[in-house]
Structure 1
Amino acid sequence: MPFATAPDGTALHYEVHGTDGPPLLLLSGQSNSHRWWDAVRADFAARFTTVVMDYRGTGASDRPDTDSYSTPGFAADALAVLDHAGIGRAHVYGTSMGGRVAQWLAAGHPERVGRLVLGCTSPGAPHGVERGPEVRRALAQPDAEAARRVLLDLMYTPAYTAAHPGPFPTLGDPSMPPHARRRHLRASAAHDAWEALPRIAAPTLVVHGTDDRFNPTANAPLLAGRIPGARLRLIPGARHAYFEEFASSATPLVADFLRDGEVAATASAHA
């Protein structure tokens, strides 16, 4: 079980699996460990060397109760993981809060990011579109089971949950202590990468479900319009966990975009 060490000494658990293909860093959503990717990781591992990590506060990583949780801080943690794994440059696919982390990684360290995919994510509250007050109230209700049902409905369509009884790792890491869960929430809520987005040089694909109310779909064109040359693809009928429920279309879409970069690089090298 490999562990990297963050700049502040926090131990960060990560895993590397897959072929001898190009490295692909997969970044999970808020309050989630690497298990977020369980349903689709094998499909990516067939074409890429996949790297997944447990954010601080989740999984097997350390869980400090300090002011060290932020989306730029998570990006620094991701760099520490890549360094420890001996990976100089990787494609990056971040979904939900992982997409926020990926924005900082690509904007601040362009030499480390090949191609970038931002899924079901946002530039941050000051310029992004926040979820509606009715959604926030429903998620904050004191009845934990009722709040879980609301979150499940925001993640997946009723048809999908009726056919798939779970478990659903995207609903959060149950092992997280309360302090880490609170700090993850604050870190994601404080995200604001608006001024940094035009600095992203990596070829970028923005993906979002058309029926996402958890992180409203209107954020997708905002991101695509702010990042030079970014492409935008919407998944019809998909909610927040589009990458899992609609994997049959979303995974090939992302994988083909990432592999286009490898084909282009090979053609250039032999030109």
Structure 2
Amino acid sequence: MPEVITPSGHKVAYQTAGRGEPLVLLAGQANSHRWWDPVRSGFEDDHTTITFDYLGTGDSDKPDIPYGTRGFAADVIAILDDLGIDRAHVYGTSMGGRVAQWVAAEHAVRVRSLILGCTSPGGPHAVERGDEVRRSLAQPDRAAATRALLELMYTPEWLAAHPGPHHTTGDPSMPAHARRRHLRASAAHDAWEALPSITAPTLVIHGTDDLFNPAANAPLIAGRIPGAVRHLIRGARHAYFEEFAAEASPVALDFLAG
């Protein structure tokens, strides 16, 4: 598996597949590249897809050091440099959307277009999940907490028909310190002041029934990025890109082609 030494001095593993214009796919918090497994193939006829394992996940190093969405964005650039790619489309979901914001804001010449899915600007302007959601995820019964997370990701009907395994509930190979570091990285994100500097064509996409990262964040982000457009997926929860792939993937592909 290809790997690169990032600006932090640590090894990061990355993966490529498909053909066509490069498309970076960025996973959610505490997840490896496998987050994209259920839908990745749908992009590969038109794009060379590029994923990577964040520090703390998958085949990448797992140092017990501070992580940050800005640092993860620098890792993306290191991977593009290693591949000899000058510009790529960037599609980030959840924490990956936070990372993508920094890629587009701080490395504008490297980004052809930007898709921000089920994500947030972070900081005091963001709409945070409710206390009931927080309590459901923090309950001491880990099986119950995992079930609560699944129900935030998918509708009950979809879960009944798809018992798993699921790739959106966290990388099982992560050590405890890496999970804590990811949580802090996502919580510390605040790109509010940087969003107006994004020049790439931008699509903001969100499920209307997302309580994990409330859908009210979509208009906030779209309103801060010049020319950004929005697409809301009716009835979708946090993992809209998987459960509602029949709608979400064509919307993304049409935007990328435009």
Same fold (TM over 0.5): yes
Secondary structure, counterpart of 2:4 in structure 1: strand
Query: 1:177-188 counterparts in 2 under 5 A?
Result: 177-188=175-186
Residue aligning to 2:135:
137
Task: Answer yes or no: is 1:42 the counterpart of 2:41.
Answer: yes
Task: Answer yes or no: is 1:97 the counterpart of 2:129.
Answer: no
Aligned residues: 258
Residue aligning to 1:256:
254
In the alignment, the residues of structure 2 paired with residue 193 and residue 97 of structure 1 have an alpha-carbon distance, to the nearest angstrom, of 12
How big is the shift at 1:47? Answer: 1.1
Query: 1:211-226 counterparts in 2 under 5 A?
Result: 211-226=209-224
Query: 1:149-188 counterparts in 2 under 5 A?
Result: 149-188=147-186
**Any stretches of 5+ residues in structure 1 without a counterpart?**
261-271
Give the letter for the 1:64 counterpart: P
How big is the shift at 1:125? Answer: 3.1
Give the letter for the 2:18 counterpart: G
In the alignment, the residues of structure 2 paired with residue 165 and residue 137 of structure 1 have an alpha-carbon distance, to the nearest angstrom, of 24
Query: 1:3-152 counterparts in 2 under 5 A?
Result: 3-19=3-19, 21-67=20-66, 69-152=67-150
* Deviation string, structure 1 residues 48-96 (Cα, Å, up to 9, x no partner): 00000000000000001112x0010110111111111111100000000
How big is the shift at 1:9? Answer: 1.2
Give the letter for the 2:7 counterpart: P
Q: Contact 2:94/2:119 (CA < 8 Å) preserved in 1?
A: yes
Secondary structure, counterpart of 2:129 in structure 1: coil
Secondary structure, counterpart of 1:208 in structure 2: strand
* Deviation string, structure 1 residues 95-134 (Cα, Å, up to 9, x no partner): 0000000000000010000000000000003111000011
How big is the shift at 1:223? Answer: 0.2
In the alignment, the residues of structure 1 paired with residue 196 and residue 257 of structure 2 have an alpha-carbon distance, to the nearest angstrom, of 24
In the alignment, the residues of structure 2 paired with residue 125 and residue 171 of structure 1 have an alpha-carbon distance, to the nearest angstrom, of 24
Q: Contact 2:123/2:192 (CA < 8 Å) preserved in 1?
A: no
Secondary structure, counterpart of 2:125 in structure 1: coil
How big is the shift at 1:240? Answer: 0.1
Q: Contact 2:123/2:191 (CA < 8 Å) preserved in 1?
A: no
In the alignment, the residues of structure 2 paired with residue 47 and residue 243 of structure 1 have an alpha-carbon distance, to the nearest angstrom, of 18
In the alignment, the residues of structure 1 paired with residue 58 and residue 14 of structure 2 have an alpha-carbon distance, to the nearest angstrom, of 10
In the alignment, the residues of structure 2 paired with residue 205 and residue 107 of structure 1 have an alpha-carbon distance, to the nearest angstrom, of 15
In the alignment, the residues of structure 2 paired with residue 240 and residue 8 of structure 1 have an alpha-carbon distance, to the nearest angstrom, of 31
Secondary structure, counterpart of 2:256 in structure 1: helix
In the alignment, the residues of structure 1 paired with residue 8 and residue 153 of structure 2 have an alpha-carbon distance, to the nearest angstrom, of 34
Q: Where does structure 1 differ by over 6 angstroms across 4 or more consecutive aligned residues?
A: none
Secondary structure, counterpart of 1:221 in structure 2: helix
Secondary structure, counterpart of 2:164 in structure 1: coil
In the alignment, the residues of structure 1 paired with residue 8 and residue 194 of structure 2 have an alpha-carbon distance, to the nearest angstrom, of 24
TM-score by length of 1: 0.94
Residue aligning to 2:233:
235
Residue aligning to 1:194:
192
* Deviation string, structure 1 residues 197-245 (Cα, Å, up to 9, x no partner): 0000000000000000000000000000000000000000000000000
Give the letter for the 1:195 counterpart: E
In the alignment, the residues of structure 2 paired with residue 227 and residue 39 of structure 1 have an alpha-carbon distance, to the nearest angstrom, of 29
Cα RMSD after superposing both structures: 0.5
